[in-house]
Chains A and B, each alone.
Chain A
Amino acid sequence: MAKFVAKTGNEAMAEAMRQINPDVVAAYPITPATEVVMIFAKYVADGLVNTEYVPVESEHSAMSACVGASAAGGRVMTGTSSQGLVYMYEILPIASALRLPIVMCEVNRAISGPINIHCDHSDTMAARDFGWIQIFSENSQEAYDSLIQAVRIAENHDVLLPTMVTTDGFIISHCLDKIEVLDDKDITAFIGKDRKPNNSLLDLDKPTTLGSIDLQDYYFEHRVQVAEAIKNSKKTIIEVANEFAKKFGRQYGLIEEYKLADADYAIVALGSTCGTAKVVIDELRAKGIKAGLLKIRVYRPFPAEEIAQALSKIKNVAVLDRADGWAGQGGPAYAEIKAALYKSKTPPKMINFVYGLGGREIDKDQLAHVYDCLKNIEQQPDVQYLGVRE
């Protein structure tokens, strides 16, 4: 029987990992993601899972060991954050190029420097172009549900891409939340007991060479195959979400609209800020202001068409980025949403707020202020840093 329990984001992810019961986990501690693999290590020590746990000496080796284990046909998971993810960057595109369905619990945290352990999206955003599927979570329940779905998505033979499910450091990772934990056997049935790889390093009868050098005459085709897989993954993500909804009752998509259909003013955001925005929207609506939210759940593949469609009837939009793009034009989501709307016949007026870097508090008042700014969008600068001291 599914049951409701209080769990932090990290506990929720560790619980999902126990139920997924991967063949191999290779991980290295880093705040605020350490707990995920720490709790999981106890499951291993208590014999609750079949997992071979590889406590590596660095995140670089964590991802390297994940590649080895996944190439050998195992169902493989890891967890990390910030500098740890940055340290993995070199191996992330190798994992996707080898089409290895590794699943990662990534806890969003600011990247150094200066060193900071709190939430922003700079780590995950900088990893967006490595051929990984990226799913953001608004709360612990979403992190738990998405992690389970991630196994199915990643291992789908039309996709075969590594997938990271992210929570927001401390805001989700360390805050208790009421979540519904599903039955072990229902999870096993949903994801399939074992991974079914279509080739494996351990297939001794059909020896495979993996990780060949690919020169001018093949590299391009192989990269395009990754591009195709990312494109295909949209369909799979939706199918898996629909099946999950049918079985377990919670519906997910690439994006989520909250009171958006008739909104005059909309915020676009990712992660935990969406929860705060929903409260603000309810309060503004009570005052007669037609406020709405577009939450981006899946950032890779980028749901450009869905976003363009959802924003096509909105007058004024503020994109909230919890990371700078270091391009002198705001955050990465803003740039990509603008691009997504380029061919729209009715593009909204848009501005960008970069906010919350290094865990800087984002509260209801600030979000209400953003909606306020949307009322006189013409007077607003293109990009603003929300909540920064001048």
Chain B
Amino acid sequence: MVTLKELSTRPEPLTGGHRMCPGCGAPIIVRQVLLAAKDPVVVVSATGCLEVSTTIFPFTAWKVPFLHNAFENSAATASGVEAAYHSLKRQGRFDKNIQIVAFGGDGGTYDIGFQSLSGAMERGHDLLYVCYNNEAYMNTGVQRSGATPKGATTTTAPAGKVSQGKLQWRKDLTEIMVAHELPYVAQATTGNWADLTKKAEKAFATRGPKFINVLQPCRLGWGYRPEDTAVLGRLAFETCFWPIYEVENGVYKVTKPRDKKPVAEFLKTQERFRHLFKPGNEQLLADIQQGVDAHWAKLLAKEAMTAGVKK
């Protein structure tokens, strides 16, 4: 893996001065992923926080080629970029190696961009799709998405007198990507740069469609102090609220926390879960813990099941 020292010498893909919130995890993810690339990168982004905050005309925070098309189509757009790249290269009209990276938030990836993502992955384009997953539509003001966890309050599934936030479990998009039989699928969080960098390096070294789902604490939507972004990312991992793992050609490798902490330790750090700790919601908290445990157990079983399978 690339050393920190070496990373510090690589040219900055996304410069400072953009308008992301203080403490936002998204630019951390973008920089850690893109800095892991040895080849030049070309970036495609879905509409969302990342795009609106980094490209306010006539300014741009991007020091690498960047294309934004619309909300739901960054995967399809990136597949077009990739097709042109291959076509021009095959014809001898372009001679460099590049990496194509598409970014989308969870709304643009899990929900409205789901079809576009699935199609691009199925077609096998040589590109990396990174979901900066903050578990709600943060750019439009914290609305519920398919990635929002059960129990979280959002502006379209708020906690109230008779309802306790989102009623449903979140969609397991990472596993849906695994079911696409991609050569490389991973989950990661902020606050663990070595893990994300290593995964990005692996993805870049793999030919074909790759998907990394990175949990991104959002100060605005989650409700916490901006300096805790990395801490929350790590806590999500330590409680198995957001397991970090990779699936290489179908073979699972799960990173285990030293001591699996109760999920409440993660939930209690954030405003979006505050109502869960009111008297009367004990069962809901227990349900969430049970859901996290069941998911974790399934993941370990998949790891055991695929151990020894030739990658």
Contacts of B78 in A (CB 8 A): 68
Q: Are A209 and B60 in contact (CB under 8 A)?
A: yes
Q: Are B80 and A202 in contact (CB under 8 A)?
A: no
Given contacts A24-B84, A64-B116, contact A210 B77 (CB under 8 A): no
Cβ of B173 within 8 Å of any chain A Cβ, yes or no, is: no
Q: How far is the CA of A35 from the CA of B80 in the complex (A)?
A: 22
Per the 8 Å Cβ criterion, residues 178-236 of A in contact with B are: 194, 201-204, 207-215, 218
Question: In the complex, how many angstroms separate the beta carbon of B210 from the nearest chain A beta carbon?
Answer: 17
Contacts of A76 in B (CB 8 A): 80, 84
Nearest A residue (CB) for B57 = A212
Cβ of B63 within 8 Å of any chain A Cβ, yes or no, is: yes
Q: Could you say which of A46-54, A271-279, A342-350 contacts chain B? A: A46-54
Given contacts A60-B72, A203-B65, contact A68 B81 (CB under 8 A): yes
Q: Are A204 and B96 in contact (CB under 8 A)?
A: yes
Q: Are B69 and A67 in contact (CB under 8 A)?
A: yes
Cβ of B296 within 8 Å of any chain A Cβ, yes or no, is: no
Q: How far is the CA of A64 from the CA of B80 in the complex (A)?
A: 7
Per the 8 Å Cβ criterion, residues 30-82 of B in contact with A are: 40, 42, 44, 51-52, 55-58, 60, 62-70, 72-73, 76-82
B65 contacts which of A54, A58, A201 (Cβ < 8 Å)?
A: A201
Question: In the complex, how many angstroms separate the beta carbon of B111 from the nearest chain A beta carbon?
Answer: 14
Contacts of B68 in A (CB 8 A): 210-213
Cβ of B115 within 8 Å of any chain A Cβ, yes or no, is: yes
Question: In the complex, how many angstroms separate the beta carbon of A152 from the nearest chain B beta carbon?
Answer: 20
Q: Are A94 and B51 in contact (CB under 8 A)?
A: no
Contacts of B82 in A (CB 8 A): 68
Q: Are B119 and A209 in contact (CB under 8 A)?
A: no
Given contacts A208-B66, A209-B60, contact A55 B123 (CB under 8 A): yes
Contacts of A256 in B (CB 8 A): none
Q: Are A68 and B69 in contact (CB under 8 A)?
A: yes
Nearest A residue (CB) for B119 = A57
Cβ of B283 within 8 Å of any chain A Cβ, yes or no, is: no
Cβ of A69 within 8 Å of any chain B Cβ, yes or no, is: yes
Question: In the complex, how many angstroms separate the beta carbon of A216 from the nearest chain B beta carbon?
Answer: 11
Contacts of A208 in B (CB 8 A): 65-66
The interface bits of chain A over 21-45 (1 if a CB of B lies within 8 angstroms of the residue's CB, else 0) are 0011010000000000000000000
Question: In the complex, how many angstroms separate the beta carbon of B61 from the nearest chain A beta carbon?
Answer: 9
A interface bracket (residues with beta carbon within 8 Å of B): 35 or more
Nearest B residue (CB) for A55 = B123
Q: Are A210 and B58 in contact (CB under 8 A)?
A: no
Question: In the complex, how many angstroms separate the beta carbon of A123 from the nearest chain B beta carbon?
Answer: 20
Cβ of A79 within 8 Å of any chain B Cβ, yes or no, is: no
Contacts of B86 in A (CB 8 A): 52
Cβ of B94 within 8 Å of any chain A Cβ, yes or no, is: yes
The interface bits of chain A over 111-138 (1 if a CB of B lies within 8 angstroms of the residue's CB, else 0) are 0000000000000000000000000000
Q: How far is the CA of A50 from the CA of B89 in the complex (A)?
A: 11
Cβ of A56 within 8 Å of any chain B Cβ, yes or no, is: yes
B interface bracket (residues with beta carbon within 8 Å of A): 35 or more
Cβ of B87 within 8 Å of any chain A Cβ, yes or no, is: yes
Per the 8 Å Cβ criterion, residues 106-142 of B in contact with A are: 115-116, 118-120, 122-123
Q: Are A74 and B62 in contact (CB under 8 A)?
A: no
Q: Are A65 and B90 in contact (CB under 8 A)?
A: no
Given contacts A91-B69, A211-B68, A214-B57, contact A57 B51 (CB under 8 A): no
Cβ of B93 within 8 Å of any chain A Cβ, yes or no, is: yes
Most buried by A among B58, B64, B73, B86: B73
Cβ of A71 within 8 Å of any chain B Cβ, yes or no, is: yes
Q: Are B81 and A90 in contact (CB under 8 A)?
A: no
Q: Are A50 and B87 in contact (CB under 8 A)?
A: yes
Q: Are A68 and B66 in contact (CB under 8 A)?
A: no
Q: How far is the CA of A214 from the CA of B51 in the complex (A)?
A: 11
A210 contacts which of B56, B63, B67 (Cβ < 8 Å)?
A: B67
Contacts of B115 in A (CB 8 A): 57-58, 60-61
Q: Are A69 and B83 in contact (CB under 8 A)?
A: yes
Nearest B residue (CB) for A57 = B119
Cβ of B85 within 8 Å of any chain A Cβ, yes or no, is: yes
Task: Across the A-B interface, give the 10 residue pairs with the lowest CB-CB distance, nearest first.
Answer: A68-B80, A57-B119, A65-B80, A211-B68, A61-B76, A72-B84, A64-B73, A74-B84, A64-B76, A69-B80
Knowing that A61-B119, A71-B80, A207-B66 touch, tell me 15 more A-B residue pairs with CB under 8 angstroms: A50-B87, A52-B84, A52-B86, A56-B76, A60-B115, A61-B115, A65-B80, A67-B80, A68-B69, A68-B76, A68-B82, A70-B80, A90-B70, A194-B93, A209-B66
Q: Which residues of B contact A (CB under 8 A)?
A: 40, 42, 44, 51-52, 55-58, 60, 62-70, 72-73, 76-88, 90-91, 93-94, 96, 98, 115-116, 118-120, 122-123
Q: Which residues of A contact B (CB under 8 A)?
A: 23-24, 26, 50-52, 54-58, 60-61, 64-74, 76, 90-91, 94, 194, 201-204, 207-215, 218
Can you give 25 contacting A-B residue pairs, CB < 8 Å?
A52-B87, A52-B90, A54-B79, A54-B80, A57-B115, A64-B69, A64-B70, A64-B73, A64-B76, A65-B80, A67-B69, A68-B67, A68-B80, A76-B84, A202-B85, A207-B63, A209-B60, A211-B51, A211-B55, A211-B66, A211-B68, A212-B58, A213-B55, A214-B57, A218-B57
